[in-house]
Amino acid sequence: MRRIQMLVLFVLCSIASRFAHADIIASIPVGNPTGIAFSPAGDFYWATSFSGNYVVKIRASDNVAVGTYSVGLNPTALTVTASFLGPSGDTVWVTNYGSNNVTRLDANTGALLGTFPVGSGPRGIVWDGISMWIANSVSNTVTRLDATTVGSGRLMGTFPVGVAPYGLTFNNNDKSIWVANRNSNTVMKLSSALDSQGTILGVYPVASQPQVLLWDGTNIWDSSYNSRALTKLDGTTGATLSVTTNLPAGPGAMVLGSSFSGPVIWVACYASSTLAEVSVASGAFLAAFTAPSNPYGLIQTPGGFAATSYTGNAVVVFFLR
């Protein structure tokens, strides 16, 4: 009898640890927010309003919105680039899904610095230190724009990839661009070298509906929305190193972090409104936490996390317990 009681207690504790709670620190109203990104210095973060056609700048020290700036139609993702001039020269780049262009803003003032046409349905965006790469989910291409001060926004090339490219990441070790092709169920590796830019260096099968990619400093992680899986790929060869299955429904945005378990990947699971914890070393699914409703984008803050709650119409700052 005692063994049965101990087994029941173990199961209950396991369930409790895998579905713990998030305590809300702040909630900043934003209409259907999607993308979120820190400034290079970490003093501000920015989020896109898909329905409101604007981006909001939020001060990280107290989670207060300090500016709202108009962009194109249905802004989906954004990134903030560093400048040799310091924060006064930082710029914000925003993909506008509904207007098929990219907006560039002054990160200090929010002033419009340019609007640049790309392919149809731009979603993911990544900076390689010189240029911007944009995934055009409807036209099945990736566009490269010059992000240097001299030639900012200049078209450098447009390259065919798989069907419905969504997410992008940059491998700084070998200077390659990685693309998640949502409807091809593949991840592609592209060359960023100027003499071979856009050349496909590899195509790697992953689980159904890959949407978001993350480089952890060595390897590439893919979150596959439909199959509730994470795939860890060798950052050089593309070989599959591990597959994490049975995650909460709708895994999407990922951040690299740490916990008592060591280095982990935190995964925003949109369809289940949860935050999943996955071991970097083994790929094991460690725990799940209640998160803000339908988290689309995710960043890690000094005190916890900030997620774009799409149906909650807010950027929600929270910590886990």
The average pLDDT across 52-71 equals 97
Q: Is the separation of the CB atoms in 137 and 149 below 8 Å?
A: no
pLDDT tens, residue by residue, 13-40: 333 344 466 789 999 999 999 999 999 9
| Residue 303 pLDDT class (50, 70, 90 cuts) | confident
Q: Is the separation of the CB atoms in 259 and 298 below 8 Å?
A: no
- How high is the pLDDT of residue 231? 98
pLDDT at 239 over 70: yes
The average pLDDT across 210-222 equals 98
159 contact partners, CB below 8 Å, separation of at least 6: 141, 142, 143, 144, 190, 197, 198
pLDDT tens, residue by residue, 110-137: 999 999 999 999 999 999 999 999 999 9
- What mean pLDDT is reported for the chain? 92
The average pLDDT across 132-160 equals 96
User: For the chain, what percent of residues have pLDDT higher than 70?
Assistant: 92
Distance of alpha carbon 99 from alpha carbon 71, whole angstroms: 10
- How high is the pLDDT of residue 8? 30
- How high is the pLDDT of residue 260? 84
Amino acid at 76: T
Distance of alpha carbon 117 from alpha carbon 96, whole angstroms: 10
Q: How far is CA 32 from CA 3, 51, 100, 309, in A?
A: 50, 6, 19, 7
Q: In 3D, which of 128, 127, 154, 125 has the Cα closest to residue 137?
A: 125
Structure tokens of 88?
């006064």
Distance of alpha carbon 146 from alpha carbon 144, whole angstroms: 7
Give the CA radius of gyration of the chain.
19
The average pLDDT across 179-208 equals 98
